[in-house]
Amino acid sequence: MTDISDIPQFSLDAPGPLQDQMATALRAALRLEDLASSTNGSAGSLGIDDLGTPALLKIRTINIVHEGASGDEAEDATPFIASAIAKIRALGGGALLIPRGTFSTDSFDYGYLAGGSGKLVVEGDGVASLLKKRVNDGATFFKIGRSSGSNTFQGSVMLRDFALSGIDGGSERVMDLWGLTNSILQGVRCRYGASAIVLNNCVTNTLIGCIGANAVNGLTLIKHVFEDSTYSDPNLNTVVGGAYKDCSGWGIKVLNGTQTVLEGTQIENNGTVGDMNTGGILVDSNAGYLSGVYRLGRAISMRGGWFESCKGRAALVLKAGSSLLEGVHFPNNAEATREIYNDGGKYVILECTMALGRTAGNIEDTANAKAGSLIIGGEIATLIGSIDTSKTSFFEINAGTNEAPNRITLIRGMGSILSKDGKELARVKGVDNSPSGTVINFGVTFKSAPEITLQERGADNSRIFQARVSSPTTTGFTINKLSLTSGSSTISTTSDTVQWEAIGELA
């Protein structure tokens, strides 16, 4: 009889996160593989009471080697993997073990998860456990869930510590997941194809230390409307660590959904030089939508991430939603036109760094950008550039070189705030073309009448005229526009354009 004394024990009373307890139970099941195999030659039913603990959980495991697969890359493992899937489905779910080796197969299609087949664990032994696509036919390679019909929420899975390899330059989806909720992907590496990892209508799933690389797109989040019109946006998915890199299109492509959370994720070497439809991360025009409210929903939240060597349009392209970046580093994306290209969304950037100096600036707000963006702290080598300062505010940002940084604060529509003698001085600018004698309002209130400078240009924009300030107050001043008559200045009713600027301490 097999010695089970050193098998990890599962207990509902044991301390630690439930995920750790599940992992312990899984390891126990894998250690009892021989016992399980004795039931029918390759699969069995394992009760927790066999371990001396409460019989509340049954785990069934199947090793694809026991189905006949050898792990030799030259062998067609398709029938052995299909046999393993069929047995797990017949058992109502279970754990599929992929040992070390290269298993070449046409596809892995688990199909519909619900109806008693919604409990699935796929466990490998790191990147040495490799499923490799055999044929360059464009067909999806590794698929879980049903892509048609109804029942968009189909079940939960755990996928851990194995690798998938599509076709280099192929058009397939390498990992294609449908309607999953509360699932965990950990240490899964997907390469090649058109899309390395795709989450379709998936909600509240977590990807930990996963890699999507060498594809057109590394990770794609998308919504589909099913035949009975039921659907769900791919909301509340979390990416922890990992890397999405070396893709010709996008490292991450968020086509739909809200609250995609990225924690410490690496976005590197994505996009194609000169192709404005590529880059690091794309938040597309349908992302961040919140039904029933008159505001932008949160599209992505990224903390502690890294954008490097991205090409194309920008490291981050925002076409919708409201995105939050905290402590994100942009070390060098010289072959992209910008670090951030905002073409329909808005952003909050908190203590981020952008090291590359660009003449046109590191951030661009197009005419489609929404008002209300905010940059707080951090270091941005070239700040102003193409930012629309009527829509975006800055607070305490170090801009310029490390040797001579300029601290900049700018409140949307007011102008920058300077520092002088320990005081914060607001600089407010405006343009006026009203008649002489008009009262100009600052739009803010100063503690005392500020310093005001004027410059008036003639209607033909060729001569500098004189203008004078009278009756300055904390809220505005009267402007007198002068013209030249017989070599002397006289008050005129001219409406020539005047540029004015006021600097003072705010009330």
> What is the secondary structure of 347-405 as a DSSP string?
EEEES-EE----TT-SEEE-TTPPS-EEEESSEESS-STB--TTTEEEEEEEES-SSS-
Q: Contact at 8 Å (CB) between 417 and 425?
A: yes
Check residue 418 and give left, alpha or beta (phi > 0: left; psi -120 to 50: alpha). beta
Give 391-441 pLDDT, tens digit per residue: 888 887 877 655 444 556 665 555 555 555 556 677 777 888 888 888 988
Check residue 249 and give left, alpha or beta (phi > 0: left; psi -120 to 50: alpha). alpha
Where residue 51 falls among pLDDT bands split at 50, 70, 90? very low
Where residue 483 falls among pLDDT bands split at 50, 70, 90? low
Q: Contact at 8 Å (CB) between 118 and 60?
A: no
pLDDT at 148 over 80: no
Question: Which residue would you say has higher pLDDT here, 60 or 309?
Answer: 309
What is residue 18's three-state secondary structure?
helix
Question: Which residue would you say has higher pLDDT here, 423 or 503?
Answer: 503
Share of the chain above pLDDT 70, in %: 72
pLDDT at 132 over 70: yes
Nearest to 279 by CA among 244, 240, 305, 304: 244
Mean pLDDT calculated for residue range 461-467: 53
Nearest to 453 by CA among 436, 434, 435, 428: 428
Where residue 95 falls among pLDDT bands split at 50, 70, 90? very high
How many other CB atoms are found less than 10 A from the CB of residue 416? 19
pLDDT at 58 over 80: no
pLDDT at position 136: 96
Q: Contact at 8 Å (CB) between 96 and 129?
A: no
pLDDT at position 387: 86
pLDDT at 93 over 90: no
pLDDT at position 318: 96
Decide the pairing of beta strands 439-441 and 423-432.
unpaired
pLDDT at 495 over 90: no
pLDDT at 39 over 70: no
Where residue 55 falls among pLDDT bands split at 50, 70, 90? very low
Mean pLDDT calculated for residue range 26-37: 46
Where residue 444 falls among pLDDT bands split at 50, 70, 90? confident
Mean pLDDT calculated for residue range 467-471: 83
Q: Contact at 8 Å (CB) between 214 and 191?
A: yes
With a CB cutoff of 8 Å and minimum separation 6, the contacts of 459 are 496, 497
- Segment of 146-155, 183-192, 434-443, 448-457 carrying the highest mean pLDDT: 183-192
What is residue 129's three-state secondary structure?
strand
pLDDT at 188 over 80: yes
Every domain of the chain and the residues it spans? 428-505
**Distance (Å, rounded) from C-alpha 357 to C-alpha 372?**
25
pLDDT at position 416: 54
Task: Determine the Cα angle at 317 with ends 312 and 320, to 5°.
Answer: 150
pLDDT at position 420: 52
Question: Which residue would you say has higher pLDDT here, 54 or 426?
Answer: 426
pLDDT at position 446: 86
pLDDT at position 37: 42
Query: What CATH number labels 428-505?
Result: 2.60.40
Give 243-274 pLDDT, tens digit per residue: 999 999 999 999 988 889 999 999 999 999 99
Mean pLDDT calculated for residue range 130-150: 89
pLDDT at position 430: 81
Q: What is the mean pLDDT of the chain?
A: 80
pLDDT at 74 over 90: yes
Question: Which residue would you say has higher pLDDT here, 121 or 400?
Answer: 121
pLDDT at 208 over 80: yes
Residue with tokens 């203008």, as numbered in its chain: 467
Mean pLDDT calculated for residue range 227-233: 66
Give the C-alpha distances (Å, rounded to integers) separating 86 from 89, 90, 146, 200, 353: 5, 6, 16, 24, 51
pLDDT at 7 over 70: no
Question: Which residue would you say has higher pLDDT here, 109 or 40?
Answer: 109
Mean pLDDT calculated for residue range 215-229: 85
Mean pLDDT calculated for residue range 95-114: 92
**Distance (Å, rounded) from C-alpha 207 to C-alpha 200?**
14
pLDDT at 49 over 70: no
Mean pLDDT calculated for residue range 85-112: 92
Give 283-304 pLDDT, tens digit per residue: 998 887 665 554 556 789 999 9
Q: Contact at 8 Å (CB) between 265 and 243?
A: yes
